Structures are given as structure tokens and as C-alpha cells.
Amino acid sequence: MQEYTLADAYEVSARDYATAGDASAAIKRKLKQLGVDSAVLRRIAVSSYEAELNMIIHSLGGTLSMTMTPSEIRLLSADIGPGIPDIEQALQEGFSTAGEEARNLGFGAGMGLPNMKRNADEFNIQSEVGKGTQIRMLFHL
């Protein structure tokens, strides 16, 4: 079994646009200090930011966590609802249910999930309506 070199978790609050991106910035700062390659770091930064913002925009709150081993980095976004009724539709570029407030800030382009999928080496999404959404992403080092 591989030993974890780092494990970190950040609470993400619904609708908190003032501190949006802080969790992703903290994760990126740590990984950069650890000397993670800048191209991988960029892909992780895009993916974690999109996942974090989705929890702020669409969920009732959740946690963004990161684990790192010598060979890989995993991101987990887990929230407490409302869940996604049609995941296939949600994954389509341009599909968004973001409200007025989010759209006015430049969010809600419907590119968040596609951006995550494109940037992660492995991408897995599970969601249950009324329960919550979990997104798992893996990045090889």
C-alpha cells in the first residue's frame, strides 16, 4: 500500500462568492511548494476551481479534498445536495442551471464539468437527487 504524503480538506460554503476560489488557491500553493510540475498544476488548478465553484453556485455546501501520493494527486468534491437529476445533460458543454446572481459574475457558462473532464486524467461523477454530488478526479504525476 502506498503511503500518503499529503491529505487536505477545505469546507466550501454555498453562495459564498467573496471567498470563492480560496480552497483551490490553497491547494495549488501547497502543491507548488512541493514542486509539482507546472503543467499538471495548471490542470489541477482549473479542475479544483471548477469543482469548488460548482459547490458554491449549485450546492448546499460541501468539502473539497486533495490527497497526494508520490505517483498521483486525487481531488474529491463532495456536497450535501441538491444533487444532479440528469448527469449526462449536466456534462454537456453549455448546459447550466446557474441563476442570475452567478451569471452576472461570469459564472454559468456550462463549461465547468467539461473543463474538469478535459483536465483530469480520470474523472468520475456520482450524484443522487436530494443527497448530494461527488466528483473524483485523478492526476498522474
Ligand X SMILES: Nc1ncnc2c1ncn2[C@@H]1O[C@H](COP(=O)(O)OP(=O)(O)O)[C@@H](O)[C@H]1O
Footprint on residues 52-111 left by Mg ion (CB under 5 A): 54
Q: Which of 31/132 has CB closer to ligand X?
A: 132
Smallest CA-to-CA distance from 76 within 59, 51, 101 is with 51
- 96 sits near ligand X (criterion: CB under 6 A): yes
Q: Which long-range contacts (CB under 8 A, 24 or more apart) does 24-32 make?
A: 24/48, 24/49, 24/52, 24/64, 27/64, 27/66, 27/75, 30/6, 31/66, 31/68, 31/73
Footprint on residues 44-73 left by ligand X (CB under 6 A): 50, 54-55, 57-59
- 12 sits near ligand X (criterion: CB under 6 A): no
Contact criterion met (CB below 8 Å) for 10 and 30: no
Contact criterion met (CB below 8 Å) for 136 and 75: yes
Q: Which of 41/64 has CB closer to ligand X?
A: 64
Out of 115, 126, 134, 136, the residue judged to bind other proteins by CB under 8 A: 115
Out of 42, 85, 122, 128, the residue judged to bind other proteins by CB under 8 A: 42
Q: How many CB atoms lie within 10 A of CB 131?
A: 13
Q: Which of 69/134 has CB closer to ligand X?
A: 134
Chain contacts with other proteins (rule: CB under 8 A) = 17-18, 20-22, 24-25, 28, 38, 42, 45-46, 49-50, 53, 105-107, 109-112, 115, 118
